[in-house]
Chain A
């Protein structure tokens, strides 16, 4: 691989742009293919560029046979995001675990006592109100949203914003009773039972977690399950 292509690949990743690296397995010649441009020795070949764009659309890496030989198409799609509302103790465990699992993590908490840098090294916590922060962050299909504050003033607007987005996972900390009350409040805001069924509450897999770290494990486990598990029989 040419260093120049590697540099472009890393920059694309950091800018959260989808890119496909096409490699001819016979001689290692490559092209880096973006949605609207391509670079590298094989970038002039229409077949290569077209096959790479197909891999980008389907988010499938793999080997394909083409007129110029076998190509490995490596789809680099942006990492998923996790938005955590509530810079609480559980968040201190959840942030590094989710980062290890490959997520870009953002924490939101307008309460400055919680959102201090010393509690969250390596993460700058957004101190906007959750609904405003979520409006800026624009959760997409590759985003998970977890609320941890227990405070309806903070959690409810965040959940409402999450429900209006296409995020793939929504989780809300709180007991069964707290969750039922939360659902009736969200119902009054106009959300249907189908909408609200998207919320995992109480958050996390039922593994009997007690400590903040154990609860974080159950949350990362559940997000992974929702993202990766194939339906039965698939």
Chain B
């Protein structure tokens, strides 16, 4: 009887689907933001073993770096907390062009 919301909600569904198919998955979540950041706290992105991603944690600025950490998290089974911002040493590569800062928690899904 309902049209399901399709925007935020299918990240978790996708994680479950991938896990159900026996694939490794990591989940990335924005836990803190400072200044102007493109996605609010709680925004999520699922990463598959081939680097496939669903959802987002920024406007596309840091997703590449988050995918790399997510693949590492799948391998070693450990969660990690990542900081991104203009003060970051790698700002030129993966910082936020908007000048904001975000903290992203990346966890493997058992």
Contact of A75 among B6, B42, B107 (CB under 8 A): B42
Give A35 to B10 CA distance when docked, in angstroms.
Answer: 24
Give A111 to B42 CA distance when docked, in angstroms.
Answer: 41
Contact B42 A122 (CB under 8 A): no
Contact of B1 among A10, A95, A124 (CB under 8 A): A124
**Interface membership of B54, Cβ < 8 A:** no
Number of B residues with CB within 8 Å of any CB on chain A: 29
**Interface membership of B3, Cβ < 8 A:** yes
Give A175 to B4 CA distance when docked, in angstroms.
Answer: 31
Give A95 to B2 CA distance when docked, in angstroms.
Answer: 10
CB distance from B9 to the nearest CB of A (A): 7
- Contact string, B68-98, partner A, CB cutoff 8 A, digits 1/0? 0000000000110100000000000000000
Contact of B3 among A25, A27, A62, A98 (CB under 8 A): A98
**Interface membership of B37, Cβ < 8 A:** no
**Interface membership of B56, Cβ < 8 A:** no
Contact of B12 among A6, A28, A75, A79 (CB under 8 A): A6
Interface centre among B3, B7, B31, by most chain A C-beta atoms within 10 angstroms, is B3
Give A9 to B107 CA distance when docked, in angstroms.
Answer: 16
Contact B2 A123 (CB under 8 A): yes
Contact A10 B4 (CB under 8 A): no
Tell me the dominant secondary structure on chain B's binding face.
mixed
Give A25 to B41 CA distance when docked, in angstroms.
Answer: 14
**Interface membership of A101, Cβ < 8 A:** yes
Instruction: Return chain A residues, CB-CB under 8 Å to B7.
Output: 100-102
Contact of B107 among A1, A63, A104 (CB under 8 A): A1
Contact of A62 among B4, B6, B27, B41 (CB under 8 A): B41
Give A94 to B3 CA distance when docked, in angstroms.
Answer: 11
Q: Which residues of A contact B (CB under 8 A)?
A: 1-3, 6-7, 9-10, 13, 23, 25, 27-28, 61-63, 72, 74-75, 79, 81, 95-96, 98-106, 122-124, 126
A-B residue pairs, 8 tightest by C-beta: A28-B79, A105-B3, A99-B3, A61-B42, A102-B5, A72-B31, A104-B2, A123-B3
